[in-house]
Every structure is written in structure tokens, then in C-alpha cells.
Amino acid sequence: MSQVLSPGTSAPDFTLHVTPDQCLSLSEFRGRPVILAFYPADWSPVCGDQMVLYNQVRPEFLNHGAEVLGVSVDGAWCHQAFAKARNLHFPLLADFEPKGGVSKSYGAYREGDGVSERALFVIDKNGVIFWSYRSPLAVNPGADGILNALERLPS
Amino acid sequence: MAVLKVPVTSSDHIQGDAHAPVTLVEYGDYECPYCGAAHTHVQLVQKHYGSQLRFVFRHFPLTEVHPNAQSAAESAEFAGVHGRFWEMHDLLFENQERLSIQLLFAAVRSLGLSEAELRDALAEGTYMSKVRDDFLGGVRSGVNGTPAFFINDRRHDGPFDFPHLVAAIDTQL
């Protein structure tokens, strides 16, 4: 089982498709905290619940200046349909080509299964990982750990 | 394991004996079909344990996927101010398949409460903060979807049908 990157590690930068014709880089968020939520698959029941929850809690994340980004190996078209069906207002990034490349760089890829782990990272405004957590695949980790981390971030 | 962070107080909606050895707290959404299904099971669980069980319901409306959930929760609060929370709660779950704004008014009317007062309360967001407080308390306690149950402050992670709830509650008795 992979070991997710630990607090204190510089968060690897990346550029991924956020829509079929637009890309987004982690470095664009420098100056504010970012929540990276790696998850196995669009449409699966647990991932659906988890992303719907983060969508609902997003105003609280934004109160801390933080944006949440979902990451899975699904393609941009798949993300688009999933986001539309669940009314998601935050970006879903496609770790699609090379498959799982970003997930691997965070230690959040399941080689045998070919999907991202269910892993959370809170990255501070300087691009350093402040908190990370890998949840058992079948368990939706909720949002309490994220909010606790955001509250502990030095201002 | 996730633990209930917001203790049960008199501002909660509570059924059952205050001195019951087991407290079951549900975070639910009136438009969530899983909560609708769980409602029947919770009622059976309450009947099964009688005075041994105290039941608390808190709001966790997922408004981005359930457009009527917030108004439904606020309507239940409105009924609660008039001492009719649980009747409204049952009406909402029992009529979940046709949940709509019209249904909220019809339900309030059937309880003999004022539709005009409900309309004003919804327009002014009178109960919005109470519902929001429930939701945020749930998030802090690790509620990760609906329904979420806590048995004596510990989140119940298994299925929420009668046999599973009873098996989990029995360990507390």
C-alpha cells in the first residue's frame, strides 16, 4: 500500500485538465490554501457522497480562503457529466494522461486497481503540505479532518 | 471512529426518556431517499426499546442535490416552535416522494398551523441558522452522508436497517 506524502513536504506542482479544453495548475493557487481530494472514481456511491458533501461544505472551506479540488483518473468529459449530475461547484481534475501520474507523485495511487486512493491533502498558501490523510477505500472520510486542519493553519 | 461533537441539549428535538441508557442521534435530510427508508426502521427501533432509548433528530440537508430539503427542514423547525415537530417530521418522511413547497404548506395546514406564518418564516429565513447549526455540527462530528447515526456519541458505520441498528444498540445495554 502506498504511503501518501507527509506534512512538511513541498506539494508537487501539476497541470491537469479541468474541462475538456481548459487546464489548471496547482501553482495558480499559491497564496491561499488548497484542499486536494483524491478519489477512486466518478459515479461510485462513496465518491458521490464524498464530493456532494464537500460541495455542501465548500462555503466553510472558502471562509478559510481554501478551494477544494477533486482528483481522479477519470477523463475530463466524465468529470463534466458527473459534476453536472451532482451540481458540483468546484473543479474536478482529470489525472488521465499519463494515467494517475499526479496521484503517484502524491503517493495516492493504487497500482493494482488503476485508480487514485481516497486521500486528502491540505496544502498551505506557500505550497507545502500541512495535513494529509489516506482513508480506507470504502470509507468516506467526511470533512471534519479538513476543517480541523484549516483551523490550525498559521494565518 | 467519529464521535459526536455537539452534545444533546434542550434545543434538540428529542423523543423518549431523558434518562434512557441509549441515545440515538440521526443526522438526516427530508429529501434523501435513504433517510426516508431509515425512518420506518427508526420507528421500529423506538418501539422495540421503549423507555430504554432516546431519539434525537438533527438536520443535514444536502441542498445542492435536494432542492426542497432546506425548506422542508425549516418547515419542521417552524412546526417545532408550535410543539408539532415530530408530527411534521413524520409527515415529511411519509410523503417524501411528493415533497414540494406545496406539500410543506399542505402539511402545515393539516396540523392546524398557519400557512401565512410558514410563508413568512421561509421568506425571512427565520430557521435558517438553526438548520445550518445542525449541519455544521454534523460536519464537525464526521457526518459523511445521510442518514448518519450516532449511538451514545459514536458514529454507527454499518447499515441502518432494524437488525443492524438493534445489534449496535444492544452492545450499549
Give the H or E element holding residue A19: strand A15-19
Report pTM: 0.94
Backbone angles phi, psi at B40, to 5 degrees: -60, -40
User: How do the pLDDT tens digits run along chain A, 155 residues long?
Assistant: 568 999 999 999 999 999 999 999 999 999 999 999 999 999 998 888 999 999 999 999 999 999 999 999 999 999 999 999 999 999 999 999 999 999 999 999 999 999 999 999 999 999 999 999 999 988 899 999 999 999 999 97
- CB contact under 8 Å between B64 and A139, yes or no, is no
State the nearest Cα–Cα gap between A147 and chain B, in angstroms.
8
Catalytic one among A47, A51, A108, A147?
Answer: A47
pLDDT at A46: 87
- CB contact under 8 Å between A52 and B62, yes or no, is yes
User: How do the pLDDT tens digits run along chain B, 173 residues long?
Assistant: 789 999 999 999 999 999 999 999 999 999 999 999 999 999 999 999 999 999 999 999 999 999 999 999 999 999 999 999 999 999 999 999 999 999 999 999 999 999 999 999 999 999 999 999 999 999 999 999 999 999 999 999 989 999 999 999 999 99
Beta bridge partners of A120: A37, A133
pLDDT at B1: 72
Residue A116 C-alpha cell reads as 487514485
Residue A47: active-site member: yes
Residue B25 C-alpha cell reads as 442521534
pLDDT at A122: 98
| Measured CA distances, B3 to A133, B72, B109, B142, B152 (Å) | 18, 27, 38, 7, 9
Backbone angles phi, psi at A86, to 5 degrees: -100, 5
State the nearest Cα–Cα gap between A109 and chain B, in angstroms.
23
pLDDT at B125: 97
Nearest to A69 by CA among A46, A41, A88: A88
pLDDT at A1: 55
pLDDT at B145: 93
Q: Which residues from B are below 8 Å from A when comparing CB atoms?
A: 2, 5, 62-65, 135-136, 139-145, 157
Could you tell me the sign of the dihedral formed by the alpha carbons of A61, A66, A67, A71, in that order? Answer: negative
- CB contact under 8 Å between A142 and B144, yes or no, is yes
- CB contact under 8 Å between A56 and B2, yes or no, is no
- CB contact under 8 Å between A142 and B65, yes or no, is no
The ipTM value here is 0.90
% of chain A residues with pLDDT over 70: 99
State the nearest Cα–Cα gap between B70 and chain A, in angstroms.
12
Report yes or no: B165 and B172 within 8 Å, Cβ to Cβ. Answer: no
Could you tell me the sign of the dihedral formed by the alpha carbons of B73, B77, B79, B83, in that order? Answer: positive
For the stretch A72-111, pLDDT in tens is 999 999 999 999 999 999 999 999 999 999 999 999 999 9
